[in-house]
């Protein structure tokens, strides 16, 4: 495995692979890698001849500078994990390499209709930062495929829309959520939690399963289900941002626009996606599950 930190050198390697008619899959990360990331790399290796993984903590997607400063940076451990994986090149640029004019002077890619929904509503500017850095990385790596985890469901929708709108020549592949034995969705932010908090955090998944069970038993008052779960999480010590029941759009449908009457707009034959975001101690956690009504 090679470690490359500058864009020109990575482009030279990509050019050599292309001259040998090899295909490329790309997995962008912010480091602090866990088994969920490694499962994305495994999927990438099944799609292409070569796998590029990036590790870059992107300042543009943090609206809270304290959160940016505290974000775990574990490069030595990450490199050890990548060496044991199917990764061929790890791209580890500096902020200066990615934003030579400074991140405040960077051209911004903005995907419409995302800042007023779900995580976009609570993290203004976050998805602009995501779209900007991912677009830049796509242009640098020039991969055939990019693999993202569906835990960040809204992020996948943002990237799919960006790729479609800008006619980018890359296929976006989503991978299922990788969970701990407790059901807690794996996340780099889980590191912020104590052992007791980590056990409590699994309640997010259980709350979604409880909603799913009630819907599949015939409950159709979605607003009441959302409110009950929200209050339950508050009682458990969480500070929830939202509990939401949406019409599931996979990763090929792109509109998360505000619904005026969710109960009327969802067709009962359609699958739903149940989503939650909540703060627990120092960690902001997100999760989702699909609820099939067939």
Answer whether residue 278 shows pLDDT above 50: yes
The percent of residues above 90 in pLDDT, for the chain, comes to 81
Give the pLDDT of residue 249: 67
* Beta-carbon count within 10 A of 233 CB: 19
Domain edges within the chain: 2-175, 188-291
Q: Which residues are catalytic?
A: 37
What is the mean pLDDT of the segment spanning 86-115? 93
Compare 179 and 124 and report the one with higher pLDDT.
179
Give the pLDDT of residue 261: 46
Helices and strands (H, E) in the chain, number of each type: 12, 9
Mean per-residue pLDDT over the chain, rounded: 91
Q: Are 132 and 108 in contact (CB under 8 A)?
A: yes
Give the pLDDT of residue 294: 63
Q: What is the pLDDT of residues 155-191, one digit of tens each?
A: 999 999 999 999 999 999 999 999 999 999 999 999 9
What is the CATH architecture assignment of 188-291?
2-Layer Sandwich (3.30)
List C-alpha distances in Å: 180 to 174, 205, 212, 287.
19, 11, 20, 13
Is the CATH number 3.40.50.150 carried by domain 2-175? no
DSSP letter for each residue of 156-200? HHHHHHHHHHTT-S-EEEEEPPPB-TTSPBP-GGGGGS-HHHHHH
Answer whether residue 131 shows pLDDT above 90: yes
pLDDT bucket at 64, cuts 50 / 70 / 90? confident
d(CA 288, CA 34): 19
Q: Are 229 and 212 in contact (CB under 8 A)?
A: no
Terminus-to-terminus CA distance in the chain, angstroms? Answer: 46
pTM score, whole prediction: 0.90
């Amino acid at each position: 495995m090679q470690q490359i930190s500058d864009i020109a050198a990575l482009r030279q390697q990509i050019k050599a692979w292309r001259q040998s008619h090899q295909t490329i899959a790309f997995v962008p990360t912010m480091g602090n890698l866990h088994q969920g990331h490694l499962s994305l790399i495994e999927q990438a290796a099944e799609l292409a001849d070569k796998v590029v993984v990036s590790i870059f903590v992107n300042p543009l997607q943090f609206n809270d500078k304290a959160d940016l400063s505290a974000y775990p940076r574990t490069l030595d451990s990450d490199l050890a994990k990548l060496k044991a994986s199917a990764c061929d090149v790890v791209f580890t640029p500096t902020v200066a390499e990615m934003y030579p004019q400074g991140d405040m002077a960077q051209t911004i890619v903005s995907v419409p209709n995302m800042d007023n929904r779900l995580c976009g509503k609570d993290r203004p500017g976050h998805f602009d930062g995501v779209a900007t850095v991912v677009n830049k990385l796509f242009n640098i790596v020039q991969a055939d495929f990019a693999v993202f985890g569906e835990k960040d469901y809204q992020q996948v929708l943002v990237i799919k829309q960006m790729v479609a709108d800008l006619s980018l020549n890359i296929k976006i592949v989503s991978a299922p959520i990788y969970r701990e034995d407790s059901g807690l969705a794996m996340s780099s932010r889980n590191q912020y939690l104590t052992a007791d908090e980590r056990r409590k955090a699994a309640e997010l998944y259980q709350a979604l399963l409880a909603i799913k069970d009630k819907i599949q038993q015939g409950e159709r008052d979605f607003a009441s289900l959302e409110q009950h779960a929200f209050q339950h999480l508050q009682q458990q010590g969480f500070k929830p941002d939202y509990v939401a029941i949406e019409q599931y759009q996979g990763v090929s449908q792109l509109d998360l626009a505000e619904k005026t009457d969710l109960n009327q707009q969802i067709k009962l034959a359609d699958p739903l996606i149940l989503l939650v975001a909540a703060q627990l101690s120092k960690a902001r956690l997100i999760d989702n599950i699909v609820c099939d009504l067939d």
